[in-house]
């Protein structure tokens, strides 16, 4: 892999940027061309560092003289119409950038934070709405996709789990929302922050400083005649209880929670103090997801997996696949190629664990069983674990065994 420290040492400091307006546009278009997800503009003691995050890794783009800091940051503030003279407090805003190559507007979320050497600016490129509808990008295997589709037909409580934050939970949440026509349903969301605007969906933004929180919103929402409710995140008992109540009164409730597996989510809610009998009847599905690096399809080649690892891999796959099939699996790895854009992987790949909460789990929920106990029972009811899902995807040459076994 690329050694950023070496690159940084070798890279000369660029003097004054000739045209700041032009420079900022170029940064945006370069980021979009490469498929970067974030742009970091970082003032350091001796220079201004410009980095892109792309497929998890950082790439150094520019090393500019410190005299460029003020003009560049001011230019960004002008673009987003925020207070130019405010540099002591963090600010958040959005820039709409017209990407001429694809003839469309791209939303860029901007955040500034004062640091020891000036304000640091981080910009997240929000992928246009169209990419959200593409199911392939979510990478559900057929058996899970079927479960998800079935569960979405019901009015219950559905929870999505993302761990870590990098798992891009919002993409999945919005994909779920896209299954419903907002003109046929009353859809309300409370987000933090609002990333994508969706036509005819009532989106609100959390404002804890004025007391507008998840729980106050949920309480007012019942008087808004909603069908589908999306709560960005469940962090406390109050929000959890209100969400359960909403689900029990025939609303489809979507939300996320920070845990590390599907069954741990159920346990977490029990620990938060949600009544188990309510939980057992209100909950329908938990999707746990993670992101792995996707294999470059251009330079992949067969790989001999270490026999010990291979044995483990097979043991994980036997319960869900035909034995002969498992024994004949071939795995791949990748090489460096032009198409990888200087990174060994081209894109990310989701792996999932879909837990259907149904009558079989009720007893365990009622007696507050551990996440492990629930997982063991769920596996008997055909839950594919996140590790198994990752290994299936390795067997499909979408990712590598090394990536998958990180999840053990
Ligand atoms: Zn490649």
Could you give the CA distance from residue 76 to residue 91 in angstroms, rounded to a whole number?
12
Residue 120 shares a structural domain with residue 143: no
Q: 3-state SS of the chain: helix, strand, coil percent to 5?
A: 40, 25, 30
Q: How far is the CA of 107 from the centre of ligand 1 (A)?
A: 29
In this prediction, residue 266 carries a pLDDT of 93
100-114, 146-160, 366-380 — which is least confidently predicted? 146-160
Q: How far away, in angstroms, is 143 Cα from ligand 1 center? A: 29
Determine the pLDDT at residue 408. 83
Do 292 and 392 fall within a single domain? yes
Q: What is the mean pLDDT of residues 330-355?
A: 77
C-alpha 337 – ligand 1 centre gap (Å): 4
State pLDDT tens for residues 143-169: 888 888 888 877 777 777 655 555 566
**pLDDT band at residue 131 using 50, 70 and 90 as cut-offs:** very low
Q: For ligand 1, an ion, list residues with CB under 5 A.
A: 296, 298-299, 337, 339-340
Q: Which residues contact 148 (CB under 8 A, 6 or more apart)?
A: 140, 176, 285, 287, 354
Same domain, 105 and 177: no
pLDDT of residue 185: 87
pLDDT tens-digit profile of 301-313? Answer: 999 999 999 999 9
Q: Are residues 114 and 164 in the same domain?
A: no
Tell me which of 126, 147, 178 is where a domain ends. Answer: 126
Handedness of CA 394, 399, 403, 407 (dihedral sign): negative
Co-location of 245 and 285 in the same domain: yes
Same domain, 149 and 122: no
The mean pLDDT of 97-109, rounded to a whole number, is 87
Q: 270 and 263 in contact (C-beta within 8 Å)?
A: no
Percentage, residues of the chain above pLDDT 70: 92
Lowest model confidence (mean pLDDT) among 10-24, 136-150, 226-240, 340-354: 340-354
Question: pLDDT confidence of 195, banded at 50, 70, 90?
Answer: confident
State in Å: Cα 59 to ligand 1 middle: 17
Q: What separation in Å is there between the alpha carbon of 109 and the centre of ligand 1?
A: 30
The reply to whether 258 and 368 lie within a common domain is: yes
Say which CATH number the domain at 95 has: 3.30.450.90
Helix axes 262-272, 359-366, angle to 10 degrees: 40
In this prediction, residues 315-326 reach a mean pLDDT of: 91
Which of 109, 126, 143 represents a domain boundary (last residue)?
126
Among 83-87, 159-163, 385-389, the least confident range: 159-163
Residue 205 Cα, ligand 1 centroid: separation in angstroms? Answer: 41
Report the separation in Å between the CA atom of 296 and the middle of ligand 1, taken as the mean of its atom positions: 5
pLDDT at 371 exceeding the cut of 70: yes
Residue 133 has pLDDT above 50, yes or no: no
Residue 135: which pLDDT band, with cuts at 50, 70 and 90?
very low
- Domains of the chain: total: 2
Longest Cα pair distance anywhere in the chain, in angstroms? 69
The pLDDT of residue 37 is above 50: yes
Cα(150) to centroid of ligand 1, in Å?
A: 37
Euclidean distance between CA atoms 308 and 201, whole angstroms: 51
- CA 311 / ligand 1 centre spacing (Å): 28
Q: What is the mean pLDDT of residues 12-20?
A: 87
Q: What CA–CA distances, in Å, run from 190 to 158, 238, 256, 306?
A: 15, 15, 12, 48
171 or 253, greater pLDDT: 253
Range of the domain at 81: 4-126
Q: Is the pLDDT of residue 346 over 60?
A: no
Closest listed residue to residue 41, CA positions, set 31, 206, 184: 31
Please give the pLDDT value at position 165.
Answer: 57
Domain final position from 81, 96, 126: 126
Is 272 in contact with 248 (CB distance < 8 Å)?
A: no
Q: How far is the CA of 346 from the centre of ligand 1 (A)?
A: 7
CA of 342 to the centre of ligand 1 (A): 9
115 shares its domain with 194? no
Q: How far is the CA of 398 from the centre of ligand 1 (A)?
A: 12
345 CA → ligand 1 middle, Å = 7
Residue-level pLDDT at 335: 82
Q: Is 197 helix (H, G, I), strand (E, B) or coil?
A: coil
Lowest mean pLDDT among 340-344, 380-384, 400-404: 340-344
Taking 50 as the threshold, does the pLDDT of residue 197 lie above it?
yes
Taking residues 52-64, what's their average pLDDT?
85
The per-residue pLDDT for range 208-242, each reduced to its tens digit, is 888 888 888 888 887 788 889 998 888 899 999 99
Centroid of ligand 1 to alpha carbon of 402 (angstroms): 17
Tell me the pLDDT of the chain averaged across its residues.
86
Q: Looking at the structure, tell me whether residues 42 and 72 fall in a common domain.
A: yes
Ligand 1 centroid distance, CA of 157 (Å): 41
pLDDT confidence of residue 387: 94
Shared domain check, 272 and 135: yes
Give me ligand 1 centre to Cα 152, in Å.
Answer: 37
Percent of the chain exceeding pLDDT 90 equals 38
pLDDT in tens, 255-274: 988 888 899 999 999 999 99
Q: Assess whether 138 and 119 both reside in one domain.
A: no
Q: Are 13 and 70 in contact (CB under 8 A)?
A: no
Q: Six-digit token pair at 376?
A: 């063991």
CATH number at 175 reads: 3.40.50.300
Chain CA centroid to CA 139, Å: 13
Task: Please determine, for residue 132, whether its predicted confidence score (pLDDT) is greater than 80.
Answer: no
Distance (Å) from CA 302 to ligand 1 centroid: 14
Band (pLDDT 50/70/90 cuts) for residue 94 is confident
Evaluate if residue 128 carries a pLDDT over 60: no
Task: Looking at the structure, tell me whether residues 92 and 205 fall in a common domain.
Answer: no
Residue 291 burial (CB count, 10 A): 19
Mean pLDDT of 386-400: 92
Indicate whether 316 pLDDT > 80: yes
């Amino acid at each position: 892999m690329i050694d950023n420290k070496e690159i940084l040492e070798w890279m000369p400091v660029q003097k004054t940027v000739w045209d700041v307006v032009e420079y900022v546009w170029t940064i945006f278009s370069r980021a979009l061309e490469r498929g970067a997800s974030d742009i970091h503009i970082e003032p350091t003691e001796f220079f201004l560092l410009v980095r892109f995050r792309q497929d998890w890794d950082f790439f150094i783009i520019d090393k500019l003289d410190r005299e460029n800091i003020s003009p560049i940051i001011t230019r960004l503030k002008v673009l987003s119409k925020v207070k130019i003279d405010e540099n002591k407090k963090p600010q958040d805003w959005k820039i709409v950038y017209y990407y001429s190559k694809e003839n469309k507007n791209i939303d860029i979320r901007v955040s500034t934070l004062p640091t020891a050497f000036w304000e640091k600016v981080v910009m997240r490129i929000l992928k246009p709405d169209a990419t959200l509808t593409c199911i392939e990008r979510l990478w559900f295997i057929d058996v899970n996709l079927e479960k998800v589709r079935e569960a979405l037909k019901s009015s219950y409580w559905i929870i999505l789990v993302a761990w870590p934050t990098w798992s891009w939970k919002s993409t999945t949440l919005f994909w779920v929302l896209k299954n419903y026509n907002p003109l046929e349903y009353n859809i309300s969301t409370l987000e933090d922050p609002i990333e994508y605007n969706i036509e005819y969906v009532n989106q609100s933004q959390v404002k804890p400083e004025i007391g507008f929180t998840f729980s106050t919103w949920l309480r007012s929402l019942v008087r808004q005649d909603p069908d589908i409710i999306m709560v960005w995140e469940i962090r406390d008992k109050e929000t959890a209880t209100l969400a359960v109540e909403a689900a029990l009164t025939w609303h489809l409730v979507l939300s996320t929670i920070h845990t590390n597996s599907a069954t741990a989510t159920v346990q977490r809610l029990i620990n938060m103090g949600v009544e188990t009998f309510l939980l057992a009847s209100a909950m329908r599905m938990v999707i746990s997801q993670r992101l792995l690096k996707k294999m470059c399809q251009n330079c992949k080649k067969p790989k001999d997996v270490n026999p010990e690892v291979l044995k483990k891999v097979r043991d994980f796959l036997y319960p869900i696949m035909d034995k002969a099939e498992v024994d004949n699996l071939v795995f791949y790895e990748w090489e460096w190629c032009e198409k990888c854009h200087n990174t060994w992987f081209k894109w990310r790949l989701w792996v999932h664990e879909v837990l259907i909460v149904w009558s079989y789990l009720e007893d365990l929920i009622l007696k507050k069983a551990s996440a492990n106990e629930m997982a063991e029972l769920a596996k008997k009811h055909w839950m594919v674990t996140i590790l198994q899902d990752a290994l299936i995807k390795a067997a499909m040459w979408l990712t590598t065994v090394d990536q998958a076994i990180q999840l053990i």
